[in-house]
Each structure stands twice: as structure tokens, then as C-alpha cells.
Chains A and B, each alone.
Chain A
Amino acid sequence: MLIYTLFAGILFGLYFSLVGLGLNLVFGVMRIVNLAHGDFLMLGAYLAFWLYTLSEVNPVAVIPLAFVLFVLIGLPLYYILVPRLLAAKDPEMLSIILFFGLSQVIEAVAGIVFGRSERSIPGGELGRALAGFVNLFPGANMESGPVEILGQTFPAAWVVAGIASLLAVLCVYLYLYRTRLGALTRAVMADREEALSTGIDTHRVSAIAFAIGIALAAIGGVFAPFMLGSITPAMGVEATVTSFAVIVIGSLGNPLGTVLGGIIYGVSYMLMQSYLSSWANLLPYLLLIAILLVRPSGLLGRQVRLA
């Protein structure tokens, strides 16, 4: 039971770090709070749902499409909203309200277009994708169905979501630490003014980070039907708060911190679910407040957030 809980916690934790990763990137680079993060996740979930329902596209195949599509949405959105916002007197505070407005717009449009009823995708789909992938290797013969790890069986959807999340985090890490654009992004993260004065086009760097952040949310959304339960237009708020808990536990600007935060969150969530289930929903909020008060810079962070 305990081993099962811990392992499930780690799989969910990896997924939660994917959910929080985009928010972390946006806050780290622009110092603005994307309260609509969860709504982009919701849109990603609907993308996967409709592609599956209309033409049986496997959710795993939706991932690259979701990434490209949401990067293309994110770039113009950045130039419409953010430069004007950053010029205001108190951008951090105003961003909360601005993106709250955006989240209302997205939720309303989704409600009008998709309807308010709950949707889901059968969980076996991801298992088929996993089995298909493993069977590409010579000699492998895997049946689609639950996956066995250390004598415990887990739904294949959890395993696939965990692996995909890990890959996404790895890609973001490589982007930030192994590419030129990533180095520029980290420069903007460290000090926007100084980055500007050394000749970095901060708006271009920020726009790309913003678009990637939104696209990561949408990828997280592709797995949402399997990890977070059925999808509705109103699911965004909860996803946003969860993302905040995850990135605050880890630390800002550091993708590895987000993974740590996600795993701590996932494991404690699973432990609460198994041993104290009626109080499990309280966990993200308490964890968030406790970490903010006890160690405001997050577990791996150096910046100070005290007033």
C-alpha cells in the first residue's frame, strides 16, 4: 500500500511539475502572474478530447500539435497584452487582474463553444500508445493495459503522463541551459533592466518564453482527462491554484525546482488520498501557505520575497 502510494505519488508529481512548469517560466521571466494558466490547460484538454472524438487521434499524437498551435497563439497574445502591462506602475499586481479577465473570457468562450457538460477520454488510449511504442523495439512484446512496476500495477495512463512530463521538463532544461536563446532567457530572468542594457531584445525573449509557457500548459491539458478527472470549461481555476502550489514549493525560474515541488506535491497528495481522504483537498492550499511563510524563496531558491 505504502509503496503503491509513493510510486503513484511520484507519477502524479511528475505530471504536476509539467502542469506548473509553464507558469514558472512565465513568472520567472516576466514577473507577471498568469492566472489564466489553468484555462490554457483546459483548452489543451478540449483539443485532445475533440481530436479523439472526431477522428480517434491518440492523445499522445496531439502533443506536438498542441505545442505548435499554442506557441502560435501565445506569441501574438504576448504582444497584445504584456508590453502595455509591463509599462504600468505595478505590473505584478495588475497582471493578476488582467489575466483573471483573460481567464474569464476563455472560460466563457469555452462554455459557449463546448457546452458545460463534463467530458472524458477512455483511459486505455494511452496504454495503447505505450504498448505500440515499446513494441517498436525488436524482441519486445507488450500488451496494452496496466503497467507493472515493482510488483504494483498502475494504470498505463499514469505512466505515460509521467514519462511525457519528464521529457517535457528535460526539454525545457535543455532549452534554458544549452541554447543561446535559453541563456538570454535566463539573463532576462535574472535582471530585466540589465538584460535590456546589454542589448538583449527582452520583448522577443519574453514573448518566446510566454508562448512556451502557454504551450506547456496545453500539453499538460492533453493528459488532464486521465490525471485530473473529467474536463469542464470551469476546471481552469483549480489547475491554476495547483500549479501555484507546485512552483512555490519548488522555486521560481528553476525547472528542476518545479520537478521537486511537483513530486513533493504529488506524493503528499497521494498520501493524503490514501490515509486521510476527506481532507485531501485542503492540502494544496495549506502546503502553499506553509511554504510561503516558512521558506518564501522555495526549496531550491535564492531570491527573497519578503516585504
Chain B
Amino acid sequence: MLSRRLLRDAAFIVVPVIAVMAILPSVYSNHLLLFNFVVFLTLAQGVNILYGFTGYLPFGYVGFFGAGAYGFSIAVLHLKAPPLAALIAAGAAAGALGLLLAPLLRLSGAYFSIANLAASLAVLQIISNPNLEDITRGPYGISLSGVFNPTLAYAMALAILAATLLFVAYLRSSNFGLALQAIRENLFSASMAGIDVVRARMIAWLACALVAGFTGGVFAWYVSVFFPETVFGAEFSIFAIVFALFGGTSTLLGPIVGVVILYGVYNLIGVSAPQYFQLIYGFLIMALVLFLPNGLTSLLQRRGIDVP
């Protein structure tokens, strides 16, 4: 059943965002930058699904992204799969990793985040190990020039973004989303109210993993040449988390605002003076936590305005 809220969010946020990102390539020439914006819009919403609705902070989120990129590449290189089929392999790789790491959900708070970080580093160490060169090309990187097709890859990235935004809108307007938030607030009360805690968390966890996996697959397709360190770079996790938190989690609009502002600033300063950028970024993150721990949208929410 479609609630009115879901329709409103879809009409006023999802459709305009997708439309803008679809039109921009024809008026702005730096397509790689636009593609990266789409990637971070999606990843920030992926973090939002998990952190905003369950309270688990996936500090090693990039593990799923990298697993997706390598799932895609291995399907293309070894199975000679067409790119669209390989994208399914990307999702499957991230989903399998999500299932493998599901026991981490037993941990709480910081332990989950640290274990998740360790898991993503472990996957990187395994994939970039020279002993696995026959399968993953080890540390020497992947080249997918045979399937290079940036236009189609960009379109698929947009489709993934649209699906992710709709899923978040669904979480915001459904009983399932409410159930997740109830679990986040109080585990015991939620299970007393008849919510299947393990199942609900598992669904959110796998959804979050799939979002990153598909995005990683489409990233591999778009850039077509990359190294393990590229697709497992900690900055993917960090950026996605900071963008989502800066805007405000458990809203649909917050992570979008966060990406547009912060990733915009990153591209303005970060490219010309990376060292000073890291410094400014560090201070920005600290100020965010100390003065605005619930994100930009909380400024409106405090005044009683319902932020979509």
C-alpha cells in the first residue's frame, strides 16, 4: 500500500533529484564529477538506511562497495558476462559479504563499527594479495576496457540511486521503517511489541550492503581501470558517513543536502590544495559533532518543521 507520505517524498524529492542528475551531463562537461556525485548520493543514503534507521554505524562500508566492484570485474573478466548481468554479480558479491558479516550485528555500538572497519580492511588484504593474482589480479589492478560504456553506466547509476531513494522514502513511511526505529530506540520494548528484531535488522543490513555493492559494480564499470586501494579506499566510507551525518540521518533530504554541500566544497578546495582540505575537513567534522550532532536538518526539526 502506498502511503501519501511516500508519494509526496517521491514526487518532491526523488523525481527532481533524478531529473536534475539526468539533465546535468548535457549541460556540464565534467561527467566524471557528476558520476561521483551520483555515487556519493547513493552511498550516503546507504549509510542512512543502516545508521539512520538502526543506529549501526558501518565504518567499513567501503567493503561492500569494493566487493561489488570486484564482483562486477570478476564476472566480466572470468565469466565473460555482459555488464548488466555482471551488475547482478556485483550485488550478489556484496550480499554474500553482508551475510558473511551478519554475525557482526550481534555486537553493539563502537564494537560493531570497529569490527566492520576491520572486516573491510581484511577483504582488501585478501583481494590485493599477490597469491590470488589469477582471480583478482592481486595488487596490480583491474582493466575492463572491453565493456567501457560510460553513458549506460551513468544511467544505471541513476537507476540505482532512484531505487535507493525510494527505499529510504519507503522506510520513512512504512511500518517496517517505524519498527526499525523502534529497535534503535529500545531493543527490548520493540521486541515486546512483537517486532522480529533479528529479521528487521537483517533486512536493513542487507539492503545497505546491496546499495553499496551495486554502486561499486557500476563504479567499476564507469572507471573501468582501478586498483584495490581505489575501490577499498577508506574515504568512501568516511565521506558517505560524514555527508549523511552532516545533512541529518533518518531523513531523505539530509544526506542529499550533505553531499551537495560537502562534496561540492571538496571539489572546490580539495583538488587545488589537498593538505589544507584535509585540515579544514577535520575541523568541519569536529565542529559538526560538537555543535550540530543531529545534522543540518535538525535546525529545521527543532523548530517543529517536518523535514522529508
Chain B residues engaging chain A, CB cutoff 8 angstroms: 55, 57, 59, 103-115, 117-119, 121-122, 125-126, 129-131, 187, 234, 238, 241-242, 245, 275-276, 278-279, 281-286, 288-290, 293-294
Contact B57 A306 (CB under 8 A): no
Shortest beta-carbon distance from B194 to chain A in Å: 19
CB interface residues, A 222-277, toward B, < 8 Å? 237, 241, 244-245, 248
A300 adjacent to chain B (CB < 8 Å): no
Contact of A244 among B106, B114, B289 (CB under 8 A): B114
Contact of A97 among B106, B242, B283 (CB under 8 A): B242
Contact A307 B106 (CB under 8 A): yes
Contact A307 B122 (CB under 8 A): no
In Å, the complex CA distance between A288 and B125 comes to 14
Measured between beta carbons, the chain A residues less than 8 angstroms from B122 are: 282, 285-286, 289
Contact B106 A111 (CB under 8 A): no
Contact B278 A292 (CB under 8 A): no
A142 adjacent to chain B (CB < 8 Å): no
Contact B290 A307 (CB under 8 A): no
A85 adjacent to chain B (CB < 8 Å): yes
The tally of CB-CB contacts under 8 A between chains A and B is: 138
In Å, the complex CA distance between A279 and B106 comes to 27
Provide 16 A-B residue pairs closer than 8 Å at the C-beta atoms, listed in order of the A residue. Answer: A85-B289, A92-B110, A96-B110, A101-B281, A101-B289, A104-B278, A104-B285, A105-B282, A108-B276, A108-B278, A111-B278, A282-B129, A286-B122, A292-B115, A296-B111, A307-B106
- Known interface pairs A97-B242, A285-B119. Does A104 touch B282 (Cβ–Cβ under 8 Å)? yes
Interface residue tally for chain A (C-beta within 8 Å): 47
A284 adjacent to chain B (CB < 8 Å): yes
Contact A282 B126 (CB under 8 A): yes
Residue of B nearest to A103 (CB): B282
Contact B118 A245 (CB under 8 A): yes
Contact B289 A288 (CB under 8 A): no
In Å, the complex CA distance between A13 and B112 comes to 25
A278 adjacent to chain B (CB < 8 Å): yes
Residue of A nearest to B59 (CB): A96
Chain A residues engaging chain B, CB cutoff 8 angstroms: 27, 33, 81, 84-85, 88-90, 92-98, 100-109, 111-112, 237, 241, 244-245, 248, 278-279, 281-282, 284-286, 288-289, 292-293, 296, 305-307
Contact B110 A293 (CB under 8 A): no
In Å, the complex CA distance between A289 and B115 comes to 6
Measured between beta carbons, the chain B residues less than 8 angstroms from A112 are: 275-276, 279
Contact of A107 among B241, B278, B294 (CB under 8 A): B278
7 A-B pairs with least C-beta separation: A101-B285, A104-B282, A105-B282, A307-B108, A285-B122, A108-B279, A108-B278
Contact B283 A285 (CB under 8 A): no
Measured between beta carbons, the chain B residues less than 8 angstroms from A108 are: 275-276, 278-279, 282
Shortest beta-carbon distance from A305 to chain B in Å: 5
Residue of A nearest to B131 (CB): A278
Shortest beta-carbon distance from A180 to chain B in Å: 30
Known contacts A81-B290, A307-B107; can you find 8 more A-B pairs with CB under 8 A? A84-B290, A98-B285, A101-B281, A101-B288, A108-B276, A241-B121, A289-B122, A293-B104
Measured between beta carbons, the chain B residues less than 8 angstroms from A85 are: 289-290
Contact A289 B118 (CB under 8 A): yes
In Å, the complex CA distance between A245 and B284 comes to 29
Residue of A nearest to B197 (CB): A307
Measured between beta carbons, the chain A residues less than 8 angstroms from B109 are: 92-93, 305, 307
Contact B285 A307 (CB under 8 A): no
In Å, the complex CA distance between A232 and B55 comes to 35
Contact of A292 among B107, B126, B276, B282 (CB under 8 A): B107
Contact A293 B106 (CB under 8 A): yes
- Known interface pairs A84-B290, A306-B106. Does A278 touch B130 (Cβ–Cβ under 8 Å)? yes
Measured between beta carbons, the chain B residues less than 8 angstroms from A94 are: 289, 293
Shortest beta-carbon distance from A238 to chain B in Å: 9
Contact B107 A102 (CB under 8 A): no
Contact A105 B117 (CB under 8 A): no
Contact A305 B285 (CB under 8 A): no
Interface centre among B59, B126, B276, B290 (most CB of A within 10 A): B290
- Known interface pairs A105-B282, A285-B121, A289-B122. Does A33 touch B108 (Cβ–Cβ under 8 Å)? no
